[in-house]
Amino acid sequence: MNNPILYIVSTPIGNYNDLTIRALNVLKDSDFIICEEFKEANRLLSHFNIKKDLFSLNEHNEKENSEELISKIKQSNSVALISDCGTPIFSDPGAYLVNLAIENNIKVVPVPGASSILAALVGSGLNLDKFHYYGWLSPKKDIRRKQLQELKIRKYTTVIMETPYRLKTLLEDIVSVLGSDVQTVLAFELTTSNEKFIRGTAKEVLDEVIAQNLKGEFVLLLDRTEKRNSYKTNRNY
């Protein structure tokens, strides 16, 4: 009888050198790999000369494919779950599969690694004694502004995720709803050659985004814990 293991493998968010040795070995030893999108998975595996059968699990087919994948995992020894980048399941598909695996007494083993959220937090310079992961805001303007209104009562660092093309709109809404002086850090294109941290008030960060016409992956951090008169706009390139 097999004792299969489902590994939840963190992959690089921009710099392939961030793949851990353990993650590399798990991917090499896996019977097959469950991925979010074939294109991104193939790019990663090709870089490390790994050839494996791939099975898709994304937001469109997660529930439909998970039952079949559980049957395949039961017949295997070692299977890896990856997302397009970063740590799987967190803001990515996979939770349903993991729950099914647990229900079927399949051992689930996380393989830690790259995370845009933690990278943004530790590089921000903000107060991390307590922070709140708000996650993704609504694409609808009215709902998004109501969600931002909720942040007025939170007096600690808040993590916000958004798509690259809504960065400017998001900052404009933050200035409008939370005020132009809320302390803000934009962690942009983390781990890539374009990585930068822009720190300042929401208005200052917005002005920099417009001036540089920034478009790319990002994590946005808001700090409402205290006013920092010395916290001037800082652009770390």
State the CATH number of the domain containing residue 35: 3.40.1010.10
Rounded-to-integer distance, Cα 10 and Cα 92, Å? 12
Total tally of structural domains belonging to the chain: 2
Rounded-to-integer distance, Cα 139 and Cα 161, Å? 12
Final residue in a domain of this structure, among 56, 89, 111: 111
DSSP state of 225: S
The whole-number pLDDT of residue 229 equals 43
Q: How far is CA 71 from CA 30, 66, 76, 235, in A?
A: 16, 9, 9, 50
Strand partners of residue 55: 34
Torsion angles phi and psi, residue 180, rounded to 5 = -75, -20
pLDDT over threshold 60, residue 237: no
121 and 228 together in one domain: yes
Distance spanning both ends of the chain, measured CA to CA: 54
The whole-number pLDDT of residue 39 equals 95
Q: Report the chain's mean pLDDT, rounded to a whole number.
A: 91
Query: What's the pLDDT tens digit per position in 88-109?
Result: 998 788 899 999 999 999 999 9
Reading the block at residue 43, the tokens are: 């790019």
Strand partners of residue 156: none
Average pLDDT over residues 138-160: 91
95 and 76 together in one domain: yes
H or E stretch including 182? none
pLDDT over threshold 70, residue 201: yes
Q: Which amino acid is at 148?
A: L
120 and 177 together in one domain: yes
Query: How crowded is residue 212: how many other Cβ atoms within 10 Å of its Cβ?
Result: 12
Query: What's the pLDDT tens digit per position in 11-67?
Result: 999 999 999 999 999 999 999 999 999 999 999 999 999 999 999 998 888 888 899
Domain coverage including residue 40: 5-111
